[in-house]
Chains A and B, each alone.
Chain A
């Protein structure tokens, strides 16, 4: 199975900050990488697919980049509603695997 490792596991940030989360795959997954946002006691929400394509309705402050083994999710200017846990997932090969999550907390 492909292992997905996110860093950091948590971070503290303020409204307006630029936030970057990294996801590393144990083997190359091309650009078959997605990002999800989850708030407490809520279902995950899809943000990005194919490493950099925004899902419909997702604000443009979210962006993704990378290919192969190294990927990044960036929030250009953190908003109050962005405090949540973020997960990456590779879907290049079975089984699809998720990172352990990165919790973005208020500083």
Chain B
């Protein structure tokens, strides 16, 4: 059974940084792309970033480009999201997802339980 467990969320001041982690089990981790999707309180879902199985290709939403960095450590089955220059608009629950490539296109199947990031002074 695939399990994704996010950690690293918390309260951070505007302009601060945070690093999220997602520990994966029950899968051959380096066979799959992975993604981060976030959800602001009371709002809908927003794709944030994804990374290929080998880690050599990444994509970002315009809203986080230049501030967030996605990475992975395949030896530790762990996905990361380094978040810098945080603003109140980054306040959200952050989910990691397993993102299999179906006919050349990434989609989501398994989701973690999420970790809450609150940006506030």
The interface stretch among A12-20, A42-50, A63-71 is A42-50
> Is B44 in contact with chain A by the CB < 8 A criterion?
yes
A13 to B70 Cα, complex, angstroms: 41
Shortest CB distance A11–B (Å): 17
Q: How many residues in B have their beta carbons less than 8 Å from beta carbons of A?
A: 21
Q: Which residue of A lies closest to B104 (CB)?
A: A32
Contact A43 B45 (CB under 8 A): no
Candidates A32, A94, A96, A98; contact of B44 at CB < 8 Å: A98
> Is B56 in contact with chain A by the CB < 8 A criterion?
no
Contact A91 B106 (CB under 8 A): yes
Shortest CB distance A86–B (Å): 11
Q: Which residue of A lies closest to B113 (CB)?
A: A43
> Is B11 in contact with chain A by the CB < 8 A criterion?
no
What secondary structure prevails in chain A residues at the interface with B? loop
Contact B102 A50 (CB under 8 A): yes
Contact B47 A95 (CB under 8 A): yes
Interface residues of A in 76-107 (CB under 8 A from B): 87, 89, 91-92, 94-101
> Is A10 in contact with chain B by the CB < 8 A criterion?
no
Q: How many residues in A have their beta carbons less than 8 Å from beta carbons of B?
A: 23
> Is A36 in contact with chain B by the CB < 8 A criterion?
yes
A87 to B107 Cα, complex, angstroms: 14
Instruction: List chain B positions with a Cβ less than 8 A from chain A.
Output: 37, 44-47, 59, 61-62, 95, 102-103, 105-114
Q: Enumerate 10 A-B pairs (CB-CB under 8 Å) in ascending A order.
A: A34-B107, A36-B45, A36-B108, A44-B111, A50-B107, A55-B109, A91-B107, A95-B59, A97-B47, A98-B44
Given contacts A43-B112, A44-B37, A91-B105, could you give 19 more A-B pairs where the C-beta distance is less than 8 Å? Answer: A43-B114, A44-B45, A45-B111, A46-B109, A46-B110, A49-B102, A49-B107, A87-B45, A91-B106, A91-B107, A94-B59, A95-B59, A95-B62, A96-B47, A97-B47, A98-B46, A99-B44, A101-B44, A101-B45
4 A-B pairs closest in CB distance: A96-B47, A43-B111, A98-B45, A49-B107
